[in-house]
Structures are given as structure tokens and as C-alpha cells.
Amino acid sequence: MAKIMAVNAGSSSLKFKLYEMPSEEVITSGIAERIGHDDAIFTIKYQNEKDTKILPIKNHSVAVDLLLKALIEKEIVKDIHEIKALGHRIVQGGKYFSQSVIVNEDVVNKVRSLIPLAPLHNEAHLIGYQAFKDALPESLNVFTFDTAFHQTMAEEDYLFPIPYELSIKYDCRRYGAHGTSHKYLAHEGQKYLKKGSLNRIISCHIGSGASLSAIKNEKCLATSMGLTPLGGVMMGTRTGDLDPSVMDYLCRMENKSVSEMYQIFNKQSGFLGVSGVSNDSRDIIDAVNQGNPRAIIADKLFIRRILDYIGQYYVRLGGVDLIIFSAGIGENASYYRQKICEALKDSLSVIIDNNKNEEMIRGKEGLISTNESKVQVAVIPTDEEIMIARDTYAYFANKNIE
Ligand code: ADP
């Protein structure tokens, strides 16, 4: 037995979840938000209690100290050295990492060298890692990469049709994202496959960031996000895939720089930009029900882009046995699941049970397809933290990781 902490450090936040492993019992979880501000928020949940404090948190080291002190004060652990290992979520592992790794200097240098590919994320992850390493120097540290699961893609699935020298010189290619989630979904999804199926899964991780993956025998063949999480389907504020000439045309017409337009594609597009209403799918659904024309087109565009990828992956996999919905929208918006599945009825003979679909919200897991449906359709709440904790514990216990 060992206590393992899964850590997700962002530029101004630090999420944590402490597990007893291998039983996978969650001991405590929480988040420090607005790090760097005088009115930062520290929340910790334990034994059905939730404690929130508003206080100055200067930097990530202060957040880590606050957390470790809270663990002792609340008697969640007797001694902070009970935390034997820490698993850190890293967004971009580039071409270097196809699985989780024990952290050493070389690993840190590689993650640092990838900062240009994930400027907001990788730098913050390293700051979070360093803060924990300073506070708990004897604990084992493991990095788990969002990109690792997608490293099994073939060259023709990950290369962009740009001059090959540029692909190689700058490692400019599709890396994908949400890999830890897609891996979890593919693994959990095994129990919903019909006997004798060919184990072809399309996993739809649809939250404010969204990506789809084509997975065969739990190996990723293709994924929708690209060089960065801007690619693929339309999202809360992100465009997803575009004709690349849109960038040049709009920069010229609006007299904006590439980086200004890039911000617009990342932060002011998607649901928000098309509808002018909100980046939140709940607001979009409300506005659609009120007949707002821009919300109606945003809603249709969002669905169309997801269907386009499902069609693509159906062909890539040579068929599909299971479609999985997950993340904020996939787990909660029965409205979108219903619309997407309805549109797949004629082509893929997908049939869902509307009552089951309505029930499958707020953390519930199960099939929403009927027995007659040719393709199984499941809702599976994702759990990236448990994947991080499992890999970290495996290294701690000196076992091979999957
Ligand atoms: P991320 O992790 O990418 O920030 P999440 O997976 O938390 O995003 O998903 C956030 C999205 O989930 C938001 O667009 C929100 O509208 C949507 N969502 C959450 N609950 C519901 C719900 N009950 N109905 C519709 N959409 C929901």
C-alpha cells in the first residue's frame, strides 16, 4: 500500500487527488485557483467535507505548502512522507514519450524543450513539479503525457502534407491530446463490446476542449487534435480544423498579426464565436430552444464536425463496434448524444434508447444503445487522474506499466 498523489498544474491553478494504492481509494482532492493573486482560492475535499479558503497564494510553491499543511492539520495524513510518489499530468510529450516515465534531468529537459509546442501548459507543469520536488524531495515523481497514447499512429495519420523537411526539422506533426482520457475510455469500454467484436472504438471526449479518437484493440490509430489542441472538431472557444488560408485572409482583411488571429481562433471562436452567446453548451442549448438563429447554426456546426470525424474514423477502422461519449458535454448533454446518434441511424444503424440516454448524466456510466443497434453506444465518465495514479504506483511498486 502507498499514498500516491496525482497532480495537474496549470499556469494559475494546481489540482490534486490523493489515492491509497493499489485499492484506488480517493483520500482527498482539491484545487488551488488564481495562483499569483491576493484573492486566490484553495479548496480541499475529504470525507464528505469541503473546505474553501480565499487567501493570497503567491506562487505554486506556496500552493504546495498550503496543501501539505492542510493534509496534516485535517489529519488526512500523519506525516507528509506517507506520500510515496507523485504523478504529474504533462500536456505535451512530443515524439519523446509513448508512455509515462520516471522523472530525471533528461526528462525535465525534454519537457522543457517542448514548451514552444504547449507554451501555456508545459511550463506550468514544470513549475508545479519543481514545487512538489522541493517540498517532498524523497518522493518518486512520474510524468504522464496527454500525447503518449497517440504515439502509435502511423506516419500517414500523423504527418501534415507540408514540405517533409519542415515536418522533420521542427517536429511539426499531429500529436493529439486528451490521450490519457482516450486510453482510459478504450480500456473501460472493453466491457461494452459484444462477444466476437473486432474491438473498433470511436471515443468522443467532448468537453470545452473536444477530441475524437479511432482505437483498435486499445491502440490509437487516429485522433482529431493536431499539432496543438486547436485542431479537430469545433469546441467551446476553439475553431477546430480550418482551411489554412483562413488565417492569411483574415489577417490581411482585419489588419491583424498571426498571433492576434491565433488568439481569436483559440479563445473567441467555436460555440462562443459562432453563436455570440456563450462557450458553454448549456447556454447554447437554451438559446437554441429560444430560437436564437446564431445559436442554432453554432449547434448544427458543432454536430456536423463531430459527425464528419465519426465518418472518417468509421472508414479508418473498417467499421465500428462501440462509440463512447465522455467529458463535460459527452457525459451530461443527452441533447447532443441524441442528435449525434440520430444522425448516425441511416448510415451506421445506430439506435439509442431515449430513456437510457436521458438517465445517463452526472457521472453515470452505461450503454445507451438498444439491443437492435448495430453499434454499441456507451457513456463513460472519464478519469485521467486514476490513470496517472496507476502508472505512478506501478513504477513505485517496480512493476511494468501497460
Ligand atoms: P474541459 O475539461 O475541457 O475544460 P469539461 O470536460 O469540464 O471541459 O466540459 C465543459 C463543458 O461541459 C461545458 O461546455 C459545459 O457546458 C458542458 N456541460 C457540463 N454539464 C452539462 C450539462 N448538464 N448539459 C450540457 N452541457 C454540459
Quick one: pLDDT band at residue 119, thresholds 50, 70, 90? confident
Q: Which of 206, 212, 280 to mutate to test the pocket of ligand 1 (most atoms within 8 A of CB)?
A: 280
- Which residues carry out catalysis? 146
Beta strands in 152-285 (DSSP E): 200-206, 210-216, 219-223
CA 51–ligand 1 middle distance (angstroms): 24
What residues are paired with 231 via a beta bridge?
A: none
Which tens digit of pLDDT belongs to each residue from 36-72?
A: 999 999 999 999 999 999 999 999 999 999 999 999 9
CA 332–ligand 1 middle distance (angstroms): 7
Predicted confidence at residue 11, as pLDDT, reads 85
Mean pLDDT of all residues in 108-136: 94
Q: Which range has the worst mean pLDDT, 1-5, 34-38, 115-119, 193-197?
A: 115-119
pLDDT averaged over every residue in the chain: 97
- Look at phi and psi of residue 345 and say left if phi exceeds 0, alpha if psi is from -120 to 50, else beta: alpha
Nearest atom in ligand 1 to 279's CA: 14
Closest CA to 31 of 63, 76, 75: 63
Q: Is the distance from CB of 180 to CB of 97 less than 8 angstroms?
A: no
Q: Is the distance from CB of 302 to CB of 234 less than 8 angstroms?
A: yes
352 contacts: CB under 8 Å, gap ≥ 6: 337, 338, 341, 368, 369, 370, 373, 377
Nearest atom in ligand 1 to 285's CA: 25
Alpha carbon distances (Å) from 95 to 99, 152, 158, 380: 11, 11, 11, 29
Which tens digit of pLDDT belongs to each residue from 256-311?
A: 999 999 999 999 999 999 999 999 999 999 999 999 999 999 999 999 999 999 99
* pLDDT of residue 225 exceeding 70: yes
Quick one: pLDDT band at residue 120, thresholds 50, 70, 90? confident
Alpha carbon distances (Å) from 30 to 2, 41, 317: 19, 10, 39
**Which residue's CA is minimally distant from atom 21 of ligand 1?**
332
* pLDDT of residue 402 exceeding 70: no
The sheet that has 25-33: what strands, in order across it?
Answer: 49-55, 40-46, 25-33, 14-21, 2-9, 83-90, 140-145, 101-102
Look up the pTM and report it.
0.95
Which tens digit of pLDDT belongs to each residue from 194-221?
A: 999 999 999 999 999 999 999 999 999 9
Torsions phi, psi for 155 (to 5 deg)? -55, -40
**Which residue's CA is minimally distant from atom 27 of ligand 1?**
329
Predicted confidence at residue 139, as pLDDT, reads 95
Q: Which residue has the cell 511550463?
A: 123
Pocket of ligand 1 (CB under 6 A): 207-209, 236, 280-282, 327-329, 332-333
Element (H, E) at 127: helix 122-135
- pLDDT above 70 as % of the chain: 99
Which tens digit of pLDDT belongs to each residue from 146-158?
A: 999 999 999 999 9
DSSP type of residue 79: S
CA 73–ligand 1 middle distance (angstroms): 34
Alpha carbon distances (Å) from 398 to 62, 63, 71, 306: 32, 30, 27, 41
Q: Is the distance from CB of 380 to CB of 188 less than 8 angstroms?
A: yes
- Look at phi and psi of residue 367 and say left if phi exceeds 0, alpha if psi is from -120 to 50, else beta: beta
Helices assigned H by DSSP within 136-172? 155-158, 164-169
Query: 315-354 b/e with 16+ CB inside 10 Å = b?
Result: ebbeebbbbbbbbbbbbbbbbbbebbbebbeeebebbbbe
The sheet that has 322-326: what strands, in order across it?
Answer: 219-223, 210-216, 200-206, 322-326, 376-379, 366-367
* pLDDT of residue 401 exceeding 80: no
Which tens digit of pLDDT belongs to each residue from 101-115?
A: 999 999 999 999 999
Q: Which range has the worst mean pLDDT, 119-123, 163-167, 302-306, 353-357?
A: 119-123
Cα distance between residue 182 and residue 198, in whole Å: 18
Q: Which residue has the cell 500525447?
A: 147
Predicted confidence at residue 230, as pLDDT, reads 95
Closest CA to 352 of 366, 335, 373, 332: 373
Nearest atom in ligand 1 to 271's CA: 14
Predicted confidence at residue 400, as pLDDT, reads 65
